[in-house]
């Protein structure tokens, strides 16, 4: 019974399914979450839920009583009453008072959820079609977070893992017990950043910055999804947030900064064709394949094929780089110059020119991209 | 008007014309009502087929049947077709049939405009549906078509979508003007406003809502058209605009729109419950005032659809309080219906079954609506399946059960035959079970964290999604039975008397069944 009280919907379903099983795949209720705000929201949710249940029992009770007892087949004779001002006033006033009673805790929770002052860490979150970018404003690191579920699992070619569609290559990492402020925006359409365990849901709106905050009490990995329809792969841009202890967070930060340094050095390194192709394939599969497909055949007419594309096979390499760096106006092709490093752009350009039978045989190095960018300025 | 002056002797010259042209050229409110209802049913089946595609894809996790982009087109078209093609025309159809008969008028005030407002619709929907076959596909940005997904990032067919929305809007506005003109000018002597049946009242108020908000919808799609084709930046920050402006304008239309879809159903149920309780409607006056209050409140709560867009906290608080207030007049209506049943002499023929289910299930939809009004809790509910469950509970057992209850209730008057009661009851129970199986589990998947409008989902949502799909297919196929029952009733069946329901009240029951082609050419006297 205790469990049933905590998971009220089970009252109705309890006859059908045992409660233990219900915990896993038959989850029926909002999660309490791991922050003070998420817990007060959960309590609000349960309070209003129980108020509705009580009102429901009374109202439907009277209704079912009439339906059973006042049937013509039972010989019920109709009464003739048809109005009573006092009754009308009573059932206008009582609901109103219940609402006032509800509005007080709701307002308190809302005010609490809206107070993003005195945050210790600022993370800028940018929604892209169809991935998230996290920039740690004071720590000077930033990276993209892509869905890491293999296409084969989505296409039912391989069994699905436990975190199917809720896993990413690079999670956003925060320390526990510190107030983290999120500055949320978008680079294209409206997205919405939601992690149920934090009770943070805020729209990412292009050209505007929204604010939200969290203070996680329990270390762990929490998963969420984009909740505003944002185009084709709206269902495929999850959010994973890892809450670590302060020391682990500092270690992660240091390794991330070191990694960023190394990436920078890579730009001046001498690259071989094989190295570029290997890296290019990886970049292609995380960044380009959702639209242009892993086999380069695209999904015409919206997403053109790259395999045998005249742009690549007969066009100038400059045009090819230009489209990747600056995108193509009026189409779904984004400007990747701001999203990818010089190394990645060089690698993916090389890959596209030499994969799937586009055997151009030429090679684009990170230095070429640097030169391209300088010429453009 | 000569028919009125010449009286009964010339009636036989004024029967319906023969053949197809009867339907194309008709200005008769009953014919136009019939056209609206059949069109609405066709759209209901079309929109249902789109829902089948959605539920088939969501039957299991993984991508099985359709591409994500096509899935988005299905959710978008399902919403648009059901809202603008199925629910709204069905109510206009009921209004056409019933409003003149209920107020003792010979026809609608503007019969030729009536014809036109119907005949725009098939063209609007033909155009809208044709976009599915075009290069780049049809609208894929949800029925709420938020910018900039519906402008900068939209498929080329969006301009046709905009044009079809304009046509639907023109049709609705003309329909609304016609109803207002009819109700205000053509009431029989003695039929004062406060004697009008509630169906007439709710439609009068709905018509005012339509006139107020359909131009706003036209405005917002025009702004989209300007952004797409003429280089303006209403909804683009890059040019000084604001994507959130779109949502404010859209929901200023959109929230009254949801009441446009439910108020006439309130009217239908307020006619049926007293009839089968054999007891007058409790609190007629408070029902009228409650309807008017709901309509007024519907204009000042729109941004509760936007609690997560980052409004200032004062805005959040205001819209939360205002939205919670709607529970008061809505509660009054529910209490009045139940008190009408209390100490009645109840029987449960098919119309009453649908009306009773309406009261129960609409109230459940009202409860989830109240939960959604709590702004901080909405941060967890917003854009999840909880919202999908909520609005399907107010629209399917709300609007659609209301329409079906009305059709069963007045079908004997329209056709002159009784429908098959046993089959009607089977239709009700299968619909009831299918609908609850489809939409109740969505509360759970939503609370557990499943976002709406996704073609594929995490494994923890799999069980309830499978149940929802089974329920949806049951509900959908059951509607073919409804089609069969209606056709059977039109063709033949037990003769219906002028007043087939013992407790029915109203002028329409003074007319013979089936109602003659022209009725009340001489206005009746209302005491």
**Token pair recorded at residue B312:** 């200032």
Q: Which positions in chain A touch B328 (Cβ < 8 Å)?
A: 92, 95-96, 99
CATH of the domain at A167: 2.60.40.420
Coil, strand or helix at A9: coil
**Where among A264, A279, A304 does a domain terminate?**
A264
- In this structure, are A204 and A309 located in the same domain? no
**Token pair recorded at residue B361:** 């299930």
Instruction: Select which of B330, B445, B519, B521 is catalytic.
Output: B330
CATH code of the domain occupying B2-510: 1.20.210.10
pLDDT at A75: 87
**Token pair recorded at residue B451:** 């976002």
Task: Give the Cα separation of A318 and A42 in Å (integer).
Answer: 55
Mean model confidence pLDDT for chain A = 87
Task: Give the Cα separation of B98 and B183 in Å (integer).
Answer: 11
- In this structure, are A209 and A335 located in the same domain? no
Per-position DSSP letters for B114-167, written without gaps between them: HHHHHHHHHHHHHHHHHGGGSTT-S--STTTT-TTTTTTTS-TTHHHHHHHHHH
A180-186 sheet: strands from edge to edge: A141-145, A131-136, A121-128, A180-186, A210-214
The pLDDT tens digits for B73-118 are: 999 999 999 999 999 999 999 999 999 999 999 999 999 999 999 9
How long is chain B?
Answer: 527
Query: CB within 8 A of B234, min separation 6: which ones?
Result: B147, B223, B224, B226, B227, B241, B245, B246
Does residue B14 surpass a pLDDT of 80? no
- Print the SS3 string covering B174-242: HHHHHHHHHHHHCCCCCCCHHHCCHHHHHHHHHHHHHHHHHHHHHHHHHHHHHHHHCCCCCCCHHHCCC
Please report the sign of the dihedral spanned by the C-alpha atoms of residue A51, residue A55, residue A60, residue A61. positive
Question: Is A24 close to B464, i.e. CB distance below 8 A?
Answer: no
pLDDT at A4: 39
pLDDT at A10: 41
Residues 116-155 (A) with a CB less than 8 A from some CB of B: 129, 153-155
Residue closest to A114 by CA, chosen among A231, A220, A211, A217: A211
**Token pair recorded at residue A126:** 């940018």
**Token pair recorded at residue B498:** 């002028």
Q: What domain range is A287 assigned to?
A: 269-376
Cα B165 to Cα B73, B176, B224, B400, B453, distances in angstroms? 16, 16, 12, 22, 22
- Hey, which bits of chain A come out as E strands? 121-128, 131-136, 141-145, 172-175, 180-186, 191-195, 200-204, 210-214, 220-226, 238-244
Q: Which of A95, A164, A194 sits opposite B459 (nearest CB)?
A: A164
Cβ contact A268:A341 at 8 Å:
no
Task: Give the Cα separation of A361 and A355 in Å (integer).
Answer: 10
Is B257 labeled as catalytic in the residue annotation? Answer: yes
- In this structure, are A176 and A300 located in the same domain? no
Question: Is B278 close to A72, i.e. CB distance below 8 A?
Answer: yes
The pLDDT tens digits for A198-221 are: 999 999 999 999 999 999 999 999
Does residue B483 surpass a pLDDT of 70? yes
pLDDT at A41: 95
Please check whether residue B229 touches A, CB under 8 A: no
Q: Which positions in chain A touch B359 (Cβ < 8 Å)?
A: 63
The pLDDT tens digits for A142-201 are: 999 999 999 899 999 999 999 999 999 999 999 999 999 999 999 999 999 999 999 999
CATH of the domain at A73: 1.10.287.90
Q: For an interface test with A, give the residue of B152, B246, B315, B346 to mutate (most A CBs within 10 A).
A: B346
Mean model confidence pLDDT for chain B = 94
pLDDT at A13: 42
Residue closest to A350 by CA, chosen among A328, A374, A373, A366: A366
Share of chain B above pLDDT 70, in %: 97
The pTM is what? 0.89
In this structure, how many other beta carbons lie within 10 angstroms of the beta carbon of residue A136? 19
Task: Give the Cα separation of A20 and B488 in Å (integer).
Answer: 50
Instruction: Select which of B259, B408, B457, B509 is catalytic.
Output: B259
- In this structure, are A332 and A273 located in the same domain? yes
Q: Which positions in chain B touch A165 (Cβ < 8 Å)?
A: 61, 456-458
Does residue B303 surpass a pLDDT of 80? yes
Task: Give the Cα separation of A25 and A162 in Å (integer).
Answer: 11
Task: Give the Cα separation of B280 and B503 in Å (integer).
Answer: 9
Half-sphere exposure of B226 (CA within 13 A, CB side): 14
Does residue A20 surpass a pLDDT of 50? no
Domain boundaries along the sequence of chain B: 2-510
Task: Give the Cα separation of B315 and B317 in Å (integer).
Answer: 5
Instruction: State how many domains chain A has.
Output: 4
Q: Contacts for B55-58 with beta carbons within 8 Å, 24 or more apart?
A: B55/B438, B55/B468, B55/B469, B55/B472, B55/B473, B56/B469, B57/B455, B57/B456, B58/B455, B58/B457, B58/B465, B58/B468, B58/B469
pLDDT band, very low/low/confident/very high, at A333 (cuts 50, 70, 90)? confident
Question: Under the phi-then-psi rule, with left for phi > 0, alpha for psi from -120 to 50, and beta for the rest, what region is B349?
Answer: beta
- In this structure, are A62 and A77 located in the same domain? yes
**Where among A114, A139, A162 does a domain terminate?**
A114
Query: CB within 8 A of B242, min separation 6: which ones?
Result: A207, A208, B235
Instruction: Select which of B55, B187, B304, B499 is catalytic.
Output: B304
DSSP annotation of B453: S
**Where among A211, A246, A264 does a domain terminate?**
A264
Residue closest to B361 by CA, chosen among B326, B329, B402: B402
In this structure, how many other beta carbons lie within 10 angstroms of the beta carbon of residue B314? 8
Query: CB within 8 A of A12, min separation 6: which ones?
Result: none
Task: Give the Cα separation of B384 and B375 in Å (integer).
Answer: 15
The pLDDT tens digits for B322-368 are: 999 999 999 999 999 999 999 999 999 999 999 999 999 999 999 99
Task: Give the Cα separation of A21 and A29 in Å (integer).
Answer: 14
Is B172 labeled as catalytic in the residue annotation? Answer: yes
CATH of the domain at A363: 1.10.760.10
């Amino acid at each position: 019974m205790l469990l049933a009280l905590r998971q009220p919907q089970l009252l109705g379903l309890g006859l059908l399914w045992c409660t233990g099983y219900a915990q896993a795949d038959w989850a029926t209720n909002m999660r309490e979450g791991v922050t003070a705000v998420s817990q007060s929201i959960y309590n609000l949710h349960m309070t209003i839920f129980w108020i509705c249940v009580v009102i429901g029992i009374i109202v439907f009770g009277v209704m079912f009583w009439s339906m059973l007892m006042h049937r013509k087949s039972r010989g019920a004779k109709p009464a003739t009453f048809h109005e009573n001002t006092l009754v009308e006033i009573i059932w206008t006033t009582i609901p109103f008072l219940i609402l006032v009673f509800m509005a007080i805790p709701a307002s308190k929770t809302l005010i609490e959820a809206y107070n993003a002052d005195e945050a210790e860490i600022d993370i800028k979150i940018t929604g892209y079609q169809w991935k998230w970018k996290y920039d740690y404003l004071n720590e000077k690191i930033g990276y993209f977070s892509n869905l890491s579920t293999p296409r084969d699992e989505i296409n039912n070619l391989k069994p699905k893992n436990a975190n199917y569609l809720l896993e990413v290559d690079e999670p956003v990492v925060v320390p526990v017990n510190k107030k983290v402020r999120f500055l949320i925006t978008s680079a294209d359409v409206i997205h919405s950043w939601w992690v149920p365990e934090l009770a943070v849901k805020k729209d990412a709106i292009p050209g505007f910055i929204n604010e939200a905050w969290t203070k996680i009490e329990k270390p762990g990995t929490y998963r969420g999804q984009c909740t505003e329809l944002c185009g084709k792969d709206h269902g495929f841009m999850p959010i994973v947030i890892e809450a670590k202890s302060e020391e682990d967070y500092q270690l992660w930060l240091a390794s991330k900064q070191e990694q960023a340094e190394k990436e920078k050095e890579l730009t001046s390194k001498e690259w071989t064709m094989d190295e570029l192709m290997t890296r290019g394939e990886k970049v292609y599969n995380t960044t380009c394949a959702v639209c242009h497909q892993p086999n380069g055949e695209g999904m015409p007419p919206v997403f053109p094929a790259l395999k045998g594309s005249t742009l690549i096979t007969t066009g100038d390499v400059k045009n090819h780089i230009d489209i990747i760096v600056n995108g193509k106006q009026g189409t779904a092709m984004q400007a990747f110059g701001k999203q990818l490093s010089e190394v990645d752009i060089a690698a993916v350009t090389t890959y596209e020119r030499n994969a799937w039978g586009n055997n151009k045989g030429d090679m684009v190095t990170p230095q070429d991209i640097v030169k391209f960018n300088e010429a453009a300025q | 008007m000569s028919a009125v002056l010449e009286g009964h002797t010339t009636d036989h010259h004024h029967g319906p014309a023969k053949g197809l042209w009867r339907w194309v050229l008709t200005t008769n409110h009953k014919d136009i009502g019939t056209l609206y209802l059949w069109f609405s049913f066709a759209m209901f089946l079309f929109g249902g087929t789109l829902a089948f595609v959605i539920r088939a894809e969501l039957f299991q996790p993984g991508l099985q049947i359709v591409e994500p982009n096509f899935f988005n087109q299905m959710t978008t078209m399902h919403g648009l077709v059901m809202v603008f093609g199925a629910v709204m025309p069905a109510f206009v159809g009921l209004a056409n049939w019933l409003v003149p008969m209920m107020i003792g008028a010979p026809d609608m005030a503007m019969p030729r405009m009536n014809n036109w407002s119907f005949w725009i619709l098939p063209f609007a929907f033909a155009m809208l549906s044709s976009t599915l076959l075009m290069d780049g596909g049809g609208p894929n940005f949800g029925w709420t078509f938020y910018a900039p997904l519906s402008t900068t990032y939209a498929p080329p067919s969006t301009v046709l979508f905009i044009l079809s929305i304009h046509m639907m809007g023109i049709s609705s506005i003309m329909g609304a003007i016609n109803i207002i003109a009819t109700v205000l000018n053509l009431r029989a002597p003695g039929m004062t406003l406060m004697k009008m049946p509630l169906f007439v009242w709710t439609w009068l108020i709905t018509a005012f809502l339509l006139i107020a908000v359909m131009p706003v919808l036209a405005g917002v799609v025009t702004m989209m058209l300007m952004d797409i084709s003429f280089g303006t930046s209403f909804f683009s920050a890059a040019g000084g605009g604001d994507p959130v402006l779109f949502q404010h304008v859209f929901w200023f239309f959109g929230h009254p729109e949801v009441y446009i879809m439910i108020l006439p159903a309130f009217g239908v149920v307020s006619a049926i419950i007293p009839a089968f309780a054999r007891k007058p409607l409790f609190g007629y006056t408070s029902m009228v005032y409650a309807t008017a209050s709901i309509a007024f409140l519907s204009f000042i709560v729109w941004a509760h659809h936007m609690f997560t867009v980052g409004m200032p906290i004062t805005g959040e608080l205001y819209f939360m309080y205002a939205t919670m207030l709607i529970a008061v007049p809505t509660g009054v209506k529910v209490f009045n219906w139940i008190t009408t049943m209390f100490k009645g002499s109840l029987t449960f023929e098919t119309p009453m079954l649908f009306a009773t289910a309406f009261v129960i299930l609409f109230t459940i939809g009202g409860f989830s609506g109240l939960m959604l009004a709590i702004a901080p809790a909405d941060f967890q509910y917003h854009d999840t399946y909880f919202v999908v469950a909520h609005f399907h509970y107010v629209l399917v057992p709300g609007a659609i059960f209301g329409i079906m209850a009305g059709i069963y209730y007045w079908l004997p008057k329209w056709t002159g035959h009784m429908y098959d009661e046993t089959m009607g009851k089977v239709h009700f129970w299968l619909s009831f079970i299918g609908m609850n199986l489809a939409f109740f589990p969505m509360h759970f998947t939503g609370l557990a964290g499943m976002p709406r409008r996704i073609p594929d989902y995490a494994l923890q949502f799999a069980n309830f999604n499978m149940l929802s799909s089974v329920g949806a297919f049951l509900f959908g196929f059951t509607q073919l039975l409804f089609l069969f029952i209606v056709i059977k009733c039109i063709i033949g069946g037990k003769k219906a008397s002028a007043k087939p329901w013992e407790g029915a009240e109203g002028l329409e029951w003074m007319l013979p069944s089936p109602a003659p082609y022209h009725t009340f050419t001489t206005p009746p006297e209302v005491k």
